[in-house]
């Protein structure tokens, strides 16, 4: 199969994974989602989405820093064409396809070859490939031309020209079998003694078998806890019935779909918080009428304002973090959500503005 056919055939298996610390890729094998440990970032829960799964919270049930593997549990519908782990040997020069979400560009597929089938890095073997993989590809599948999983795209050498490495399928198969044999969830693999540890047996974050400190146990116990203005901002959004876990894109970025509108909220290092809703594209005709309307509406607003960037119309709220309060913030962001949902329709229906196109939903 060529790259396009492989992507079209197996795209339902490809999962986008998001946490406050970044995003990555996963893929369905059987009843679990496989990804890298560093993608789930030591959390018990992450946000996932796919062609068939709307943005949802899923449980991390297995975390293995040694292999850099994690398994995620979610009640999903089985893909029409499920992915399978390969059982064939990997050879130098084999054609491979890497699928993932690099830099948030969903469902990107890159083709290359196996530069070296067994490259020793530390104690483990990796498949070295020249297919382009970038941040966001981590945890995605590396496929052969039959569409079988031969590895998990795991890391690249920075500032190199397409030097990527995938954890071979046989490590994944070993980990899946060991995990399922236990028939319990919430397993941490000790990076030192390699034992699989039931999280309930861990005391003070130390491995009960060898006594080493388990950093992943500590991270899972602590979870993600926002602080300062980020915490206040999430409290404001929560008071407006926004699920901040699902809305969170990073520690300082949120996306909210409200009615037909999409609102992006970003907290910048200089202390500025901006809530933006890209409503629509200005029309080609009668532009002066829509300009006059936007100016008139701006004079009526408090907290919000219209603006035009290139040919897009935005409705925005801007505030400095030191001025953010629960009461005022709630008023401002409630208006931003509701007005964004109504004004996009008004501008399209009354002034013939064009509905904006969006990339893959997530």
CB 35 within 8 A of CB 72: yes
The whole-number pLDDT of residue 237 equals 98
Residue 160: per-residue pLDDT: 65
Q: Which residue has the tokens 């933006």?
A: 276
pLDDT at 286: 84
If one compares 283 and 158, the residue with the highest pLDDT of the two is 283
Q: Write 333-338 long-range contacts (CB < 8 A, 24+).
A: 333/236, 333/237, 333/240, 333/265, 333/275, 334/240, 335/303, 335/304, 336/263, 336/275, 336/277, 336/303, 336/304, 337/240, 337/256, 337/258, 337/261, 337/263, 338/258
Residue pLDDT, tens place only, 206-257:
999 999 999 999 999 999 999 999 999 999 999 999 999 999 999 999 999 9
Give the percent of the chain with pLDDT over 90: 90
Q: Per the structure block, which two tokens stand in for 343?
A: 């004004």
Q: Tens of pLDDT along 99-144? A: 999 877 889 999 999 999 999 998 999 999 998 888 788 999 999 9
User: What does the pLDDT read at residue 159?
Assistant: 62
Q: Which domains does the chain have, with CATH numbers?
A: 3-169 (2.40.10.120), 228-355 (3.30.1460.10)
Rounded distance, CA 115 to CA 130, Å? 6
- State how far the Cα of 200 lies from the Cα of 30, in Å rounded to an integer: 26
Q: pLDDT by residue (tens digit) across 162-219?
A: 789 999 999 999 999 999 999 999 999 999 999 999 999 999 999 999 999 999 999 9
């Amino acid at each position: 199969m060529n790259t396009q056919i492989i992507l079209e055939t197996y795209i339902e298996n490809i999962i986008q994974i998001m946490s406050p610390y970044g995003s990555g890729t996963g893929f369905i094998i059987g009843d679990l989602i496989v990804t890298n440990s560093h993608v789930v970032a030591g959390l018990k829960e992450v946000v996932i989405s796919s062609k068939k799964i709307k943005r949802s919270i899923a449980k991390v049930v297995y975390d293995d820093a040694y292999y850099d593997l994690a398994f995620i549990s979610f009640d999903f519908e089985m893909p029409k064409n499920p992915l399978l782990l390969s059982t064939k040997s990997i050879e130098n020069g084999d054609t491979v396809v890497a699928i993932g979400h690099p830099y948030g560009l969903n469902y990107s597929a890159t083709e290359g070859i196996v530069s070296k089938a067994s490259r020793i890095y530390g104690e483990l073997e990796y498949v070295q490939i020249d297919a382009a993989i970038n941040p966001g590809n981590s945890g995605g599948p590396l496929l052969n031309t039959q569409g079988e999983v031969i590895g998990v795209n795991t890391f690249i050498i920075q500032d190199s020209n397409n030097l990527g490495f995938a954890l071979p399928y046989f490590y994944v198969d070993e980990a899946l079998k060991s995990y399922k044999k236990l028939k319990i969830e919430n397993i941490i693999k000790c990076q030192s003694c390699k034992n699989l540890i039931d999280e309930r047996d861990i005391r003070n974050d130390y491995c009960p078998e060898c006594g080493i400190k388990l950093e992943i146990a500590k991270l899972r116990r602590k979870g993600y806890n926002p602080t300062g203005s980020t915490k206040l901002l999430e409290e404001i959004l929560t008071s407006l019935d926004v699920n901040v876990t699902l809305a969170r894109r990073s520690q300082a970025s949120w996306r909210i779909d409200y009615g037909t509108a999409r609102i992006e909220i970003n907290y910048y290092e200089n202390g500025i918080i901006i809530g933006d809703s890209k409503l629509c594209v200005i029309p080609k005709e009668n532009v002066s009428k829509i300009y006059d309307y936007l100016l008139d509406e701006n004079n009526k607003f408090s907290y919000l304002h219209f603006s035009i960037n290139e040919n897009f119309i935005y409705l925005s709220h801007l505030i400095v973090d030191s001025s953010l309060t629960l009461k005022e913030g709630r008023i401002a962001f409630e208006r931003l959500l509701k007005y964004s949902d109504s004004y996009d329709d008004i501008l399209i229906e009354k002034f013939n503005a064009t509905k904006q196109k969006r990339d893959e939903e997530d």
